[in-house]
Amino acid sequence: MSQVQPYSLFTDFDIDLFKAGKHFRLYEKLGAHLIEVDGVKGTYFAVWAPSARSVSVVGDFNYWIQGEHLLQVRWDSSGIWEGFIPGLEKGTTYKYKIQSNNGGVITEKADPFALYCEHPPHTASVIWDLNYDWKDKNWMETRKGHNDLDKPYSVYEVHLGSWKRNAEGKFLTYLELATELVNYVKETGFTHVEFMPIMEYPYDPSWGYQLVGYFAPTSRFGKPQDFMVLVDKLHQAGIGVILDWVPSHFPEDSHGLGFFDGSNLFEHPDRRKGYHPDWKSLVFNYGRNEVRAFLISNAIFWLQQYHVDGLRVDAVASMLYLDYSRNEGEWEPNIFGGRENLDTISFLKDFNEAVYSNFEGVQTIAEESTSFSMVSRPTFVGGLGFGMKWMMGWMHDTLEYFQKETVYRKYHQNDLTFSMTYAFSENFMLPLSHDEVVYGKKSIAGRMPGDEWQKFANLRLLYGYMFTHPGSKLLFMGSEFGQSAEWNFEGSLDWHLLQYDLHEGIKKTITDLNALYKTYPALHEKQFSPEGFEWINYSDHQNAVMSYIRKGHNSKEDVVVVCNFTQVVREKYRIGLPQKGKLEEIFNSDASVYGGSGVLNSSKLVIEASPYDGREYSVELTLPPLSVTVYKFS
């Protein structure tokens, strides 16, 4: 094997951008790149290690011996080491062996920009390319029409390792999922899939939230091109792809980013800012320009190279606050004496501006659980710039309410109505996510009170309420058919439950709710605007009934929603309406096809010129037990 030859992919402009934290396509320069130099094929390597005394590329090709293939440091104080090794081919495993200036410490690290990694527990990087013939041109040209904020956005959250396993209990591959998962999501009608982190991670119980290979799809399920096939097939089926993205922290694994070149390179050197006590992990130094460029380049990478349609940013609250999960004395206020992390705020604004200025028809979504203001407002008006934010308050209050026996619900209706006091302060997504079905919380179905029939009726009611409430939707896998047990990442979903009518009925309910959400513009066109919602009556606590109108751009297409939160059938229940004509029932969660009792409003209901609920007109309805009914004007 030839020795390292001098070579560079960097221009002076690249280096200036990198130092300024504004180079957002670093993956085109740093890492391992298969190239040809003077007619000779090989691999160009570049790694950022400013505290290094020497950097060697080691692998099977040189028996992992340090010093055999030494990279050269650039003259421009960028801290980048680089060089070309002739003959190194695709599939070669490698690492960087770094001797530090800080006391001669030697670290052996995976490539931060590796495109492919060995299957854990092996930890080496693999020389690879991203050549692929995409077939999703139609989706990419039209996805703005799928992803805009006035379009239906119903997300199926998936953990690839436990969605389904084969007969031997092994993972399905990306290629197998490209058939089975795609067909299932298309059948159930979700508009988007959100993958829990698929970037390479060493430890299965972390569910992927402790990353070491930020630029590599995990090899657990196949090769990078296999993951491209999965994304491609989803797009061809008209389904968008969202990735969980974790810029909040990373593990201390010896081959990872921590103490990379013998110094605190990626993590903040102050332990009060650079260590996360909850997850025993390291926190990025958001004030360091090169680190910001690394992270934003990573976001751009998945959107550009893998045609991803959105990024859901994990644990934003932990990034925003200096005192997050820290006791007094364990954190230091910012320069203004506050608890906000100013570097993080600046970084998140830069991240969102870079994403939205480079890609049309994508969304960024913040998992942010506090009252931090303007998370999903544009940066030019002072916001963080996200497209959406998870509505954690809605999730908590709604599940608290639904866990209560129906006899007590009349005392707690404010748990539900409260969400409308702040529903339009952000562009909210309603999440019933993986976090709600683990650690003893029970499954969503398992939280429902009553006997078996009531549990499933409550679950259908919950989902009907969710899909008619303003905001986009997210549902964790298994919840769509009423999985009974808590989620277990080490196994498969309990698909055998679908042989039972009540579970199949939940799946049918979700399928029809997805169709309803997509079909009726009033349920999505103004889902983030107060103009899209109007209460009819929120104060009928005694009967535990709520009624409201959802509105789109055309008032003739408004829909009326009535929720009955008890098992009492309410006949001749009157609600006020703003117009005359007729009402036609278009969804009823108590329909027998879903496993309900079949109490329906089957014929068109005549709206009377009889004032009620402060409106000029009204109509009498029959409210099925534990139900959501939806009506259109006709």
Whether 136 is catalytic: no
Total Cβ atoms within 10 A of residue 614: 8
Say if CB 160 and CB 171 are below 8 A apart. Answer: yes
Residues whose CB is less than 8 angstroms from the CB of residue 11 and which lie 6 or more positions away in sequence, other chains included: none
Whether 512 is catalytic: no
Say if CB 544 and CB 565 are below 8 A apart. Answer: yes
Q: What is the SS3 assignment for 64?
A: coil
Distance of CA 593 to the CA centre of its chain: 32
The CA angle 9-12-17, to the nearest 5 degrees, is 95
Catalytic-role residue among 226, 367, 436, 525: 367
579: nearest Cα among 612, 607, 540, 552: 607
Say if CB 560 and CB 549 are below 8 A apart. Answer: yes
Q: How many CA atoms lie within 13 A of 436 on its CB side?
A: 25
Angle between helices 224-236 and 174-188 (to 10 degrees): 20
595: nearest Cα among 507, 511, 489, 536: 507
Catalytic-role residue among 200, 244, 314, 558: 314
- In sequence order, the β-bridge partners of residue 581 are 607
623: nearest Cα among 607, 608, 601, 596: 601
144: nearest Cα among 360, 338, 321, 311: 360
374: nearest Cα among 428, 318, 425: 425
The set of catalytic residues is 314, 367
